[in-house]
Amino acid sequence: MKTRFDPNLSVSKIKDSKKYGFIVSATHSGAGKSSLTAGLMRLFSRKGYQVAPFKSGPDYIDPSHHERACSRPSYNLDTKMCSKSYVRKLFEETSHSANMVIAEGVMGLFDGASATNETGSTAQIAKLIGLPVLFVFNGSAMARSSAALVKGFKEFDPDLRFLGVVANKVNGARHAEMIRRAVESHTGLPFLGHLPFDPKLEISSRHLGLQLGAEQTDDLYERWADHVENHLDIKKILRLAEIPLLENRKPPRSRWNHSTTIKPFTVAVARDSAFQFIYQDTLDQFRFYGGSIQFFSPIADKTIPNGADWLYLPGGYPELFAKQLSENTTMRKSIRLWGQSGKPVVAECGGMMYLGKSLTTEEGTKFKMAGLFQFETTLNPKRMTLGYRDLKFDSGTKETIRLKGHEFHFSHFSNNPEKPQMTSDTKASNPAVADGYVFKNSIASYTHIYWGADSKWLKHILSKLR
């Protein structure tokens, strides 16, 4: 049985007074780090460890699997959208009550926001938060060459610490032994085991990546934990993953500063099968500044929750549920009238698509949406938009708000008479990006904003409350 997260539990109250941690990374995307990470999280969780999960980079899907695996919210660590100081504070604050920290990297170990420096990479995050790298690679079609591969990654950055190596998709014991001997003799890194390929353990994918954790059965994580325990040297991992633990350490200070000018508020947050892409850090920020969160479903609920002061429609998969969203005419009308009355609405990516006039699916079927804005969107799986965003928003005051976030979508505007109110400098984004559409106090953007890094965005939204 997995252990549920107890936010009031301090490290001193956990049976094992030691603390462990590592970050799982790989040669490239698709090498097996997501499944391995989820398996390790579930395995250590059911062994009684309080596991704190993290994800390097801008991602909503992997954290959903982390939470399913260890029953604790996963946090994103990103040095492109946040300052290094903020990332360290976020990590320290949210991992304080755990005695096991497991983070999952993004893409390959050294991939990030730049081709010439480490910004936004897993390697940078690992050094910033002081975790060693558990390195996984696909060993299915190599033997001695695996040593050259691992050696290249090990020596690329001498300041990076490695916990050890795992060879994925290696079925035979003889093959695994050849890889072990090659890696250990030529690199000096511990070989922690191999994982045979099992098609029954694969997680299905769609256009934005793996299916979400909420779409999986709990048995999948149990089977992954069994798979990991049966093939990896768990005792060696624990021995190598021990990290310093300061005795009687006080809880770290909050990553945000208290404000006496913000009054308590209630935000209605869309969360259902169509809208899932919400950073846990954003929800934490809402609550820190006195917010009460009411989740609602634009698919199933008839109207906006009573008592809400403003609405937040995050990203997700509205294109997969366009028919259900369109058929819920009372909710569409409720949101349209809300925005037309001047009450604040913030929508990002999929939420923005929902606020438009219509959404056309991959099959070419057009469905009516909320109609608060006049733009129309169309899904095209062959047309991807991907990248970090550094935007300026004219708040109507003396201060210009800088917003950082990212875009990742396969939809585009088929018609857009709206004028963008957010722009990026060509220095930060080439070519320049225009985003952010405003109607009264409703703001919609393709960019997923990282709210937590700066409270100015939340304070601007709250300033619109009547």
CB atoms within 10 A of CB 225: 22
Q: Tell me, what's the pLDDT at 429? A: 54
Note the pLDDT of residue 287. 97
pTM of the model: 0.92
Half-sphere exposure of 69 (CA within 13 A, CB side): 32
For CATH 3.40.50.300, list the domain ranges present in the chain: 11-243
What's the CATH number of domain 265-462, 3.40.50.2000, 3.90.470.20, 3.40.50.880, 2.30.30.110?
Answer: 3.40.50.880
Reported residue count of the chain is 466
11-243 in CATH: which number? 3.40.50.300
- Single-letter residue type at 42: R
Q: Tens digit of pLDDT for each residue in 122-144?
A: 999 999 999 999 999 999 999 99
Q: pLDDT at position 344, please?
A: 98
Residue at token pair 């846990």: 280
- 3-state DSSP assignment of residue 431: coil
CA dist 402 and 118 (Å) reads 23
Q: At what angle do helices 173-187 and 145-156 cross, to 10 degrees?
A: 40
Q: What is the pLDDT of residue 428?
A: 55
Smallest CA-to-CA distance from 3 within 79, 97, 96 is with 97
Q: Look at residues 431, 427, 326 and name the one whose alpha carbon lies nearest to residue 376.
A: 326
CB 391 within 8 A of CB 403: yes
Distance (Å, whole) CA 47 – CA 70 = 11
| Cα pseudo-dihedral 58, 64, 66, 68, rounded to 10 | 170
* Contact status, residue 66 vs residue 41, Cβ threshold 8 Å: yes
- Please choose, from the candidates 242, 236, 226, 138, the residue with its C-alpha nearest in 3D space to the C-alpha of residue 192: 236
Residue 287, token pair as written in the block: 């609550």
Every domain of the chain with CATH number 3.40.50.880 lies at 265-462
Question: Can 70 be counted among the known catalytic residues?
Answer: no
CB atoms within 10 A of CB 427: 8
d(Cα 273, Cα 94) in Å, to the nearest integer? 27
How far is residue 119's CA from residue 115's CA, in Å, rounded to a whole number? 9
| Nearest CA-CA partner of 61 in 183, 213, 179, 185 | 213
Helical residues (DSSP H) of 389-440, grouped into ranges = none
Residues 6 or more apart whose Cβ sits within 8 Å of residue 160: 123, 126, 127, 133, 154
> Which regions of the chain are under pLDDT 50?
1-15, 247
Catalytic annotation, pick one of 349, 369, 370, 403: 349
363 CB-near residues (< 8 Å, 6+ apart): none
Residues 6+ apart with CB under 8 A from 226: none
Closest to 192 measured CA to CA, from 147, 150, 141, 235: 235
